Amino acid sequence: MKVDGTPYRSLWWDADADALHIIDQRWLPHDFRIEQLDSLADYANAIKDMHVRGAPLIGATAAYGMALAMRQDPSDGNLSSTWDMLNQTRPTAINLRWALNRCRDLLLGLPVSQRGQAALTLAHEIAEEDVDINRRIGLHGLELIQEIAAQKADGNPVRLLTHCNAGWIATVDWGTATSPMYHAHDAGIPLHVWVDETRPRNQGALTAWELGSHGISHSYITDNAGGHLMQHGLVDMVITGTDRTTRQGDVCNKIGTYLKALAARDNEIPFYVALPSPTIDWTVLNGLKEIPIEDRAAEEISHVQGRTEDGRIATLQVTPLGTPTANPAFDVTPNHLVTGLITERGVCEASEAGLSALFPEKSAATSATKG
């Protein structure tokens, strides 16, 4: 996607610097900053402290972190310790472990002399795969939007509601929930997107920044406004991303997603989740019982970051001094509240049968492991 007319991805390998560059998302939407990651500690901090965020982007970043480690020390011991270090940075997003396991499985079968280059090549492959996966998610989601648009009179826009940021800056490019929006807009379908602010961290502002850069009509709303809009017939479809999806179709996403699904069900509005297949955790059946929910720092609730009237980026406290906080970062939406899952292979019902039909090889492998 483009920023001020210049095409960017959320991360890219700079051959001249021989290092990974990322967009440091802590400063968006107020300031666009690029960061170079030079050490394994840089990679771990970038993931843990949300310089990069979004399950697919976290996975790609971790793969490049593994490549850096293998180029410095390709021993089995360093491979194991790097896997452990990076895996501990974010417990909920499954793409992190998926990418690290994919790297480890390849590298353990290679001589140490080949591991550095092989790890970097694999990181490039993971990044490019993510771009293509999200592009195809967009094409399948486009069909759903086209169906709604066909029922509209006089060119009225399709009204979508989304939660958090599942955009191109949460992936390597295109995004998950936003990819159908970009494809629909580029196809000439009128859209209007209701963008939840998504506290804490106000990640809806990132979605608003993305959509504005692409020329897509949108309105930034409070998290609590979505149900009201649905009650008054102002939402045609809800579409979100997910950080982990169980094999029965439960989705774990940014805190507040469950409430949107409840409101959508009560108002008979379709609730779709866009996900790349690496986000499916085939080892987990029941998301409520088995997915660890990340508890994050109190400051994400007690403080907010914004731009002051004189243009400075500042952080302000909004709670009384000493007020205790609780900050679960994710919630689980049970599969019965999900209308369908939009994957790179098509749209399916949120169930083990639906996912197995699209990904029979994964289902078979899971069955073999359980057997």
The four Cα atoms 27, 33, 34, 39 give a dihedral, to 10 degrees, of -50
Q: What angle do CA 110, 113, 115 make, to 5 degrees?
A: 50
In whole angstroms, what is the distance from residue 306 CA to residue 321 CA?
A: 20
Question: pLDDT at position 367, please?
Answer: 65
Per-residue pLDDT at 369: 61
Distances in Å between the Cα of 13 and the Cα atoms of 70, 114, 133, 207, 326 are 16, 20, 20, 24, 38
**pLDDT in the model for residue 370:** 60
Closest-CA residue to 343 (of 134, 124, 104): 134
Catalytic site residue from 42, 130, 236, 243: 243
Q: What is the pLDDT of residue 131?
A: 98
Distance between CA atoms of 151 and 324, rounded to whole angstroms? Answer: 49
Q: Which residue has the tokens 């490039």?
A: 124
Question: Which two tokens mark 367?
Answer: 């069955």
The Cα–Cα gap between 136 and 146 comes to: 15
The residues of the chain scoring below 70 in pLDDT are 364, 367-371
Domains and CATH numbers, the chain: 2-129 (1.20.120.420), 137-370 (3.40.50.10470)
Does the active-site annotation cover 243?
yes
